[in-house]
Structure formats: C-alpha cells, structure tokens
Amino acid sequence: MIKKEKIQKIFNILKKRYSVRNKKINPFRVLMHVMLASRTTDLVSWPAADRLIEKGKNISNISKMKINQIEKIIYPSNYYKTKAKNIKKTCKMIIEEFDSKIPKTRENLMKLPGVGGKSADIVLSFSYNKPVIAVDAHVKWIVNTLKISNEKEPEKIRKELHEIFPKNKRIEVNDLFVQFGKEICNTSRPKCWMCPIKNICPYDKKRLKK
Ligand code: SF4
C-alpha cells in the first residue's frame, strides 16, 4: 500500500480537476438505475430507469405491471429479462416489507432482489448522503492500480477505503475516482500520457511511455 502522504497528494490533484455532486437524487430513481446498470452503460441505464418511472409513475403501479411490459420498457439494458423480474419483485417487497419506502440501510437494501453491496452503497450515497464509498469497476481498478489497496474483493476494498478516508471525505473520494476512471484511468485503456498523477502512479512504466 502507498503512503498516506501520497494518497493525500492524489486526492488534492483530483480535487482540482473534478467536481463533487451537491444534490441528492430521488432514491427510487437511483435504485432503478442501479438495478439496470449491470453490464450496461450509464447512457442506457439512466434513460431506461427514467422511462420506467415515467410509464409506471410509482412503485405500486410498477409492482403490478406484467414482466414482459417491464422488459419492453427497460430494453436494451443487458439481461433485461432477469432485471425485469427483479424490478417487479423489488417493488412488491418495498410495498410489503418497507412500507412503500426505499430502505435507508445497507442491510435492508441488500435484501431486495438484484441489489448487492455496491448498488446499496450507491443508493445510500447518492440519495441519502451517507458516508460510504461504492466500489464499482472504476474505483476497484484505480485503487488497485495506485496501490491504495491491494485487496481484490470489493467488500475488502470498501473496508480498507473506509479506514483510510474519514466519513466527511468519502462521498468526495467516490465522485473523484469515478470521474477520473471515466475520463482518464479507465480499466480497458488508461490514458497514461495525459494523466495528472502519472508521476505518482506505480503502473507498469513501459505502458506510461506509450
Ligand atoms: S498513469 Fe495511467 S494507470 Fe496510472 S493512474 Fe494515470 S491513467 Fe491510471
């Protein structure tokens, strides 16, 4: 693992380059988005979530929709058949077990079909401003590449990041890493030549020269 001073330096550089969100997003919208996001880009999953909410209007109506109706609305999200089933079950469960409100704890969010730890953290962070770091593919790749964490499992990485970053920095760190991953340090082809932290990065030096 790299030293704390280096982590602070990385944080300061990214903070100058990227912004941090300043408003909460409706929890049902975020929940539908994360349920549609698996193997699907944001450009597909956000509009699909919005179409579903626009057609269904509320959780109760969506829980009564036919599965093939949901499938048509959320297509072309990958695995749309499985996702449609999970969305219907999730809406029913929210009504029956959570008084029609989106759960505010990780434990309860993870009881919903199709919602894992990362998805739960995204809802907690984006909708309820809870101090958690959602370990998605960008965050995992960046913290492993920069050796901020050597862990490979998202839950272990999350634990380590929560030990490194205090509660009041976690939302910020999450936003900075995700934007950095989307713009420069992406998992398939990091743009090392234009990277503002290439001098700190221990990534394969031969690749940095390309
Ligand atoms: S130098 Fe390359 S691998 Fe290292 S952080 Fe920058 S983009 Fe990522």
Contact between 135 and 161 under an 8 Å Cβ cutoff? The reply is yes
As a whole number of angstroms, the distance between CA 142 and CA 91 comes to: 34
Calculated CA dihedral for residues 127, 18, 149, 152, nearest 10 degrees = 60
As a whole number of angstroms, the distance between CA 153 and CA 63 comes to: 33
Ligand 1 residue neighbourhood (C-beta within 6 Å): 145-146, 184-185, 190-192, 195, 197-198, 201, 203, 208
41 pLDDT exceeds 70?
Answer: yes
Q: Which atom of ligand 1 is nearest to the CA of 192?
A: 2
Residue 119 Cα to ligand 1 midpoint, Å, equals 26
Calculated CA dihedral for residues 189, 193, 197, 200, nearest 10 degrees = 90
Residue 204 Cα to ligand 1 midpoint, Å, equals 9
Contact between 140 and 156 under an 8 Å Cβ cutoff? The reply is no
Residue 146 Cα to ligand 1 midpoint, Å, equals 8
Contact between 115 and 153 under an 8 Å Cβ cutoff? The reply is no
Of residues 25 and 206, more confidence is placed in: 25
Sort 12 into a burial class: Cβ within 10 Å, 0-12 / 13-18 / 19+.
exposed
- Measured N-to-C along each axis, helices 117-128 and 27-36 cross at an angle, to the nearest 10 degrees, of 150
Per-residue pLDDT at 55: 97
Domains of the chain, start order: 4-20+133-194 (1.10.1670.10), 27-128 (1.10.340.30)
Question: Using one digit for the tens of pLDDT, what is the confidence trace for 110-159?
Answer: 999 999 999 999 999 999 999 999 999 999 999 999 999 999 999 999 99
| Helix/strand/coil (H/E/C) assignment for every residue in 172-187 | HHHHHHHHHHHHCCCC
Q: Which of 153, 154, 208 is nearest to 184 (CA)?
A: 208
Residue whose CB lies within 8 A of the most ligand 1 atoms, among 177, 208, 209, 210, for a mutation test: 208
Residue whose CB lies within 8 A of the most ligand 1 atoms, among 203, 207, 208, 209, for a mutation test: 203
Per-residue pLDDT at 208: 55
Question: Using one digit for the tens of pLDDT, what is the confidence trace for 152-208?
Answer: 999 999 999 999 999 999 999 999 999 999 999 998 899 999 999 999 998 866 555
Per-residue pLDDT at 15: 96
Q: Which of 31, 15, 1 is nearest to 174 (CA)?
A: 15
Q: Pick the range with the lowest mean pLDDT from 3-7, 78-82, 97-101.
A: 3-7
Question: Using one digit for the tens of pLDDT, what is the confidence trace for 90-107?
Answer: 999 999 999 999 999 999
Of residues 1 and 69, more confidence is placed in: 69
* Interval 78-84 mean pLDDT: 97
